Amino acid sequence: MQILGWGQFCALACAVAWSFAVILLRRSGETLPAFELNLVKNLIGFLLLIPTLALTVGLDWPEYPLKEVGIALLSGVLGIAVGDAWYLRALNLMGASRTAIVASLFSPFVIMLSVTFLGERLAGWQLAGFFVVMAGILLVNWSRAPVGLEVPKLRKGIAYAAGGVFLMAVGIVMVKEILETRPFLWTVELRLLGGVGGMLIYIGLGRGWKSMKAHFRKPQPWVWIIAGGFLSSYLSMLFWLAGYKLIPASQASVLNESAAAWIVLFAWLFLKEPISVRKIAGLLLTFSGVVLMLLV
């Protein structure tokens, strides 16, 4: 029985790297709005991949069917540009706790799409692990709605969050076969190009450059932003997509969900945020579910 292969390692390493990036970016978000912060970190990932490509596989453009180039770009637009934008909108409407709960739909969406379009299946103990991970995440993140939160605003926030994570799931499932058959780093770069390009188009059409320039002219914690961008859009992105390349998407998505528990743990260790018995129980449930998922 293989307990931890490279695919499982990458999926778990992605969760840890992303969680630590969230801790680094948390203070950055106090001065730089979420959309601008998201654009900067994705640009960092895109730019860092250029020397990575040069040092590993070279900058000669590999042969891609035009259809696959379009799929990779569209995957980035859906998962990074539109999906992230809707997720950030949900954060503004109903807060982080409620949004985190709705974001737990990511794994069910990936599993549903993988079973439907990729023909994947989960073994019985892996399905049990999935439910244990979901229970742990809900226990960690559940809290009452803020006092005074309007029902229409809550419903709109749920719709944006669910739609956002659904598009993220669609984006990763649609590019999985390309990750398996085409040059990995080039596919990652194409996906980031689609995401960043989509965000720049969105800025030009809806947000305007003036308001963005005003934010960038103010003093910003660039050390935190760059470090967080490196971990989130470069290191964890590589681990994330490598996990989907090496193991079934349904398994990788559940292992990635452990990030919610890691965030709580790191916030307690490094930011001195309080941790309750309920959160500890949720952490234990989540990690127990991960262990079940590794029994392949």
Across 27-41, 77-91, 135-149, the highest mean pLDDT is recorded for: 77-91
Contact residues for 130 (Cβ-Cβ < 8 A; gap 6+): 107, 111, 122, 254, 289, 293
Give the range of the structural domain holding residue 247, as residue numbers without chain letter: 6-293
- Which position has the higher pLDDT, 101 or 19? 19
Decide if 100 is inside a domain: yes
Structure tokens at 282: 């949720």
**The tokens of 211 are what?**
């308001």
Number of domains in the chain: 1
Judge whether 154 lies within some domain.
yes
* 131 in any annotated domain: yes
pTM over 0.85: no
Q: Is residue 1 part of a domain?
A: no
Once rounded to an integer, what is the mean pLDDT over residues 100-123? 76
pLDDT cut 90: percent of the chain above it: 22
pLDDT tens digits along 53-95: 999 989 998 989 999 999 999 999 999 888 877 876 776 677 6
What whole-number distance in Å separates Cα of residue 205 and Cα of residue 203? 6
